[in-house]
Amino acid sequence: MAKYIFNRFIKWIPSAILVLFLVYALAFFGAGDPIKLMFLNAPGDVVWSEERIELIRVEAGLDRPFLVQFGDYMWHLMHGNLGNSLISNRPVNDIIRAAAPVSIQLGIAATIIMGVIGLPLGVLAALNQNSFLDNLIVSFALFIWAIPVYVAGPLLMVLLVLGLKVMEVPYGWDGIFSTKSIIPIIVMALNPMALVIRQSRFAVIEVLSEDYIRTARAKGLPKHVIIFRYIMKPMLTPVVTTLGLIMITLINGAILVETVFGIPGLGNLTVRSILEIDYPIILAITLIGAFLVMASNLFVDLTYPILDPRAARAKLDDGL
């Protein structure tokens, strides 16, 4: 198993370098000049000239060729140094360290909600296949999947703030257990929950057609025993398989949610860094996002032996 994990990490390295290279190239050739933007965004009337801009560009190392800058960035990255912000000159490590815990809390809370609600709904729909309840749950999944994040947020605010009046306008961050975090967490969980419902429903329907389920029913085992002992474990396999897609949905949702609700997490930081053309922060967040998706795929591979030993054996035999 250790060798398998090591091989997976080795295969990640070229992918991570390619992602960083492409993002760095896009920022270098097409994003604009961050040094000029510093002067444009400065408060008041700031006197600037091409000579002064060029001097600052030289001090920041932005006057060098593209490959030289990228190679220097990779060298510092291997030593755990993400560089300094071009705008504030603060270490990117400190900026990420301040924003990451907020996004992690939101992501964990959204994952718990989509699992606690999505899995039971998917199982319930499959056990009542083609019934009114099944159609209702499937329609609900399609409905929440079709609602964009930037629409779900205002709708929930109208319902909970203006309609039911159970909270004030949620803006800012007072901790995960504050009422301000209720709507952001629900909004982040909606789209991934639709995936969980549909995948768990499909998986249970497929498992119900297996011979050992019919045998268990013929033996007269109670329905709840069949569900928890024989259905839940194989049902989780396709759900876990989509974990990478769910992770991408959470990351994309976090960017919009944190920006709209003024939450100081990685999503909000991403938007500000793009607007300010702050290369080091953009690259650091891109690296974190790529690592999360790759880590979720590794988690899927590691859980295969537990959920479905036959699938895991086939992957190992194929050299994957």
**pLDDT score at 42:** 61
Altogether, the residues listed in the chain come to a count of 320
Spatial CA neighbour of 245 closest among 296, 170, 184: 296
Please give the structure tokens belonging to residue 15: 């992918």
Which residues does 235 contact at the CB level (< 8 Å), separation at least 6? 123, 200, 203, 204, 207
Spatial neighbors of 292 by CB under 8 A, at least 6 apart, are 247, 251
Radius of gyration of the chain (CA): 24
What distance in Å separates the CA atoms of residue 299 and residue 293, rounded to the nearest whole number? 10
For tokens 């702050």, name the residue. Answer: 278
The whole-angstrom separation of Cα 132 and Cα 137 is 9
Q: List, as own/partner pairs, every contact residues 54-63 make where C-beta atoms lie below 8 angstroms and the sequence separation is at least 24, other chains included.
A: 60/35, 60/86, 62/34, 62/35
pLDDT at residue number 316: 47
Listing DSSP states for 77-119 in one string gives HHTT---B-TTT--BHHHHHHHHHHHHHHHHHHHHHHHHHHHH
Domains of the chain: 101-268 (1.10.3720.10)
68, burial (CB in 10 Å: exposed 0-12, middle 13-18, buried 19+): exposed
Q: Which two tokens stand for residue 276?
A: 């300010």
CA angle 274, 280, 281 (to 5 degrees): 50
Per-residue pLDDT, 125: 92
State residue 230's pLDDT score: 75
Note down pLDDT in tens along the chain; length 320 residues.
Answer: 677 667 777 777 788 788 888 888 877 776 666 777 666 666 555 556 777 777 877 877 778 888 888 888 889 888 888 888 888 888 999 999 999 999 889 988 988 898 889 989 998 998 888 899 999 999 999 999 888 888 888 888 888 888 888 888 888 888 888 888 899 999 989 888 998 898 889 888 888 887 777 787 787 878 777 777 777 777 777 777 777 778 777 877 788 888 888 899 988 998 888 887 788 888 888 888 878 877 777 777 777 666 665 554 555 454 44
